[in-house]
Amino acid sequence: MIKQFFLGSILLFTCFFCVGQNIVQLEFDGKQNITISKHIYGHFAEHLGRCIYDGFYVGESNTTVPHTRGIRNDIVQALKKLQIPNLRWPGGCFADTYHWKDGIGTKGSRPTIVNNWWGGVTEDNSFGTHDFLDMCELLGAEPYLAGNVGSGEVQELADWVQYVNFSGKGPMSDLRKLNGRQDPWNVKYWGVGNEAWGCGGNMTAEYYSDIYRKYSTFMADWDNSGGLYRIASGASGDDYHWTETLMKKIPSGLMKGVALHHYAVIDWSKKGPSIDFTEEEYFRTMKSAWFMNELVEKHSAIMDKYDPKGKIDLVVDEWGGWYEVEAGTNPGFLYQQNTMRDAMIAGMTLNIFNNNARRVKMANLAQTINVLQAVILTEEEKMLLTPTYHVMEMYKVHQDAILIPLKLTSEDFTFKDERIPAVSVSASQNTGGQIHISLVNVDPTSTKKISVDMGQIKPKAIEGRILTAKKLRDYNSFQEPEKISPKRFTAAKLNQGKIEVEIPPFSVIVLNVN
């Protein structure tokens, strides 16, 4: 009887101890071969609000902001620290109204257009193809050009490819040389239209598939000897019919990537504030961000059905948080602040992409500067780095590292009768053998205890960094630009082959395990 009571007490104590535990099991056997493509950490620069003008580009004649051929030097330095792998341009919706020949030649001779999509402002085309591609060289990033399919013509896109890529003698390469560039830029990544289901032409999936086949055919030769990585305009959110139609109707030889767009939005008609959000709005945003996991898995399953060998990639070339614009700003400029909520979106979403790296090979946060979930904000000569920037800088250790599969048992983050996982995790091993584990706790009020079973890995030392703040609604301002920044984290402990961590509410931790 005493023995039974003693054993029962142990079991009761064990179960009590398990309550509130979050368990991560790394499934590392040394045979993993899935690489987390660095291109998952791409960015997006559209002619929208102050992203290009007064963001990247201040003009060659500017005397107050240090620049190189009009490109802000501080922006270049900040983005190089992120090791951004690619940059998408010129849109977005703007791409399907953009005619690239308007943006070449002497700047005084370039025609103007009205940007009907974003604020109705006049676009003077002073930032064009040469400016963008030369800037990508400064950044050490590969350009991703979005071609005009909605209002453009097949020949226009074919000419653009030749203008930037052809090294021999021809009308487009001669024109490029006349405009001051001798050697081609050799642009690999090309979007064949953008959001064809909406601002790119309000097309059906069936109609766009035929249009795509036509445009992609004339972009290259028989064998695509130029190695173009052609990306089809993909689905909005859970439009699985769109993905299935493209996979069924477009030959794999014409398409290397299928896009997907999803924003963490509460309600498109009432998106809520970027700073003074309620508890409910926070949960709704996190739930929408977590929906990315389901979207990636279901779109990937459709792609697996038609492409079991994984020759075609899933390209999530627009993602991020979207709220109402800041008071007093142009509604068409989409300028919003960036709080710890955005750090949660970034950490969670990047973990989703990492864990689905078998199919997700490229992604682009929307957008880089002064627009939506920006990594950088500017105000005249001043510049600041947002919490989202710091998450992406912490996560750069995963770029081109080998994915370590894992199993996660997580507590729930609940609101009323709804719930999502509170903890998000991904892990990788770099070429030097170091293990990196990224941990996110989206719960705004509760610290989470996490136990990481390292399996066959025998860790000897751990160090890390943490991004958190005093308040969930904290953000970096031009008055306090470094209010939120990564700090050294030393609280992770080794215990019999396991790593034990307590992660505070609304925090991101990246561990370096040797």
Write out pLDDT tens, residues 269-325: 999 999 999 999 999 999 999 999 999 999 999 999 999 999 999 999 999 999 999
Whether 14 is covered by a domain: the verdict is no
Task: Look over the chain and give the mean of its residue pLDDT values, rounded to a whole number.
Answer: 94
- The structure tokens 């947002």 sit at 386
Task: Please enumerate in sequence order all residues whose Cβ is within 8 A of that of 63, keeping only pairs 6 or more positions apart, or say none.
Answer: none
Task: Tell me what percent of the residues of the chain surpass a pLDDT of 90.
Answer: 93
Crossing angle between the packed helical segments 73-82 and 129-139, to the nearest 10 degrees: 50
Name residue 294's amino acid: E
pLDDT-based confidence at residue 15 (cuts at 50, 70, 90): very low
Q: Is residue 11 in a domain?
A: no
CA nearest neighbour of 412 among 420, 403, 404 = 420
Q: Are 98 and 88 in contact, with CB atoms under 8 Å apart?
A: no
pLDDT of residue 21: 83
Q: Are residues 335 and 435 in the same domain?
A: no
The token duo for 265 is 């939005």
Q: List the CATH number of the domain containing 477.
A: 2.60.40.1180
Given this model, what pLDDT does residue 67 score? 97
Of 40-49, 371-380, 440-449, 489-498, least confident by mean pLDDT is 489-498
Bridge partner list, 124: none
Residues 347 and 456 in one domain: no
User: pTM for the whole thing?
Assistant: 0.94
Cis peptide before 373 (omega within 30 of 0): no
> Which residue among 348, 380, 400 closes a domain?
400
Decide if 318 is catalytic.
Answer: yes
Q: Which residues of 291-300 are buried (b: 16+ CB within 10 A; e: fewer)?
A: bbbebbeebb
Considering its fold, how many domains does the chain have in total? 2
Same domain? For 348 and 432 the reply is: no
Find the helix or strand (DSSP H, E) in which 218 lies: helix 205-219
| Amino acid identity, position 272 | G
Separation in Å, CA 190 to CA 72, 96, 157, 232, 500: 26, 13, 10, 9, 44
User: Per-residue pLDDT for 498 more than 90?
Assistant: yes
Asked whether residue 214 falls in the same domain as residue 170, the answer is: yes
Residue 163 CA, distance from chain mean position: 28
195 is catalytic: yes
pLDDT (tens digit per residue) in 201-256: 999 999 999 999 999 999 999 999 999 999 999 999 999 999 999 999 999 999 99
| Neighbour-count burial of 490, counting CB atoms closer than 10 A to its CB (0-12 exposed, 13-18 middle, 19+ buried) | exposed
Per annotation, catalytic residue among 195, 281, 393, 411: 195
pLDDT of residue 110 exceeding 70, the answer is yes
Encoded tokens for 513: 């395990």
pLDDT of 153 > 50? The answer is: yes
Does 19 have pLDDT greater than 60? no
Give the pLDDT mean for 75-97.
Answer: 98
Distance CA 416, CA 410 (A): 18
Which pLDDT does position 459 carry in this prediction? Answer: 85
**What is the H or E stretch that residue 163 is in?**
helix 154-165
394 shares its domain with 423: no
Given a cut of 80, is residue 3 above it in pLDDT?
Answer: no
Asked if residue 2 is part of any domain, the answer here is: no
Residues 182 and 306 reside in one and the same domain: yes
Do 379 and 507 fall into the same domain? no
Structural domain of residue 89, as residue ranges? 37-400
Residue 332 predicted with pLDDT over 50: yes
Domain-terminating residue out of 350, 385, 400: 400
* 10 in any annotated domain: no
Whether residue 447 sits in one domain with residue 361? no
- For residue 409, what is the DSSP state? E
| Residues 367 and 463 occupy one common structural domain | no
- 18 pLDDT band, cuts 50/70/90, is very low
**Which amino acid belongs to residue 38?**
K
310 within some domain: yes
* DSSP strand pairing (418-421 vs 313-321): unpaired
Domain assignment of residue 12, yes or no: no
Which string of DSSP letters, residue by residue, matches 30-49?
A: S----B--GGGGEEE--SST
Same domain, 213 and 275: yes
* Rg for the chain, CA atoms, rounded: 24
Partners of residue 463 on adjacent β-strands: 512
Q: What is the pLDDT of residue 29?
A: 77
Which of the four pLDDT bands, split at 50, 70 and 90, describes residue 20?
low
The burial class, CB within 10 Å (0-12 / 13-18 / 19+), for 249 is middle
Residue 2's pLDDT band, with cuts at 50, 70 and 90, is very low
Q: Evaluate whether residue 127 is within a structural domain.
A: yes
Given the residues 46, 123, 281, 318, the one annotated as active site: 318
Question: Residues 469, 353: one domain?
Answer: no
Do 345 and 436 belong together in one domain? no
Average pLDDT over residues 29-33: 77
Contact 442/286 with Cβ under 8 angstroms? yes
Asked, for residue 44, whether it belongs to a domain, the answer is yes
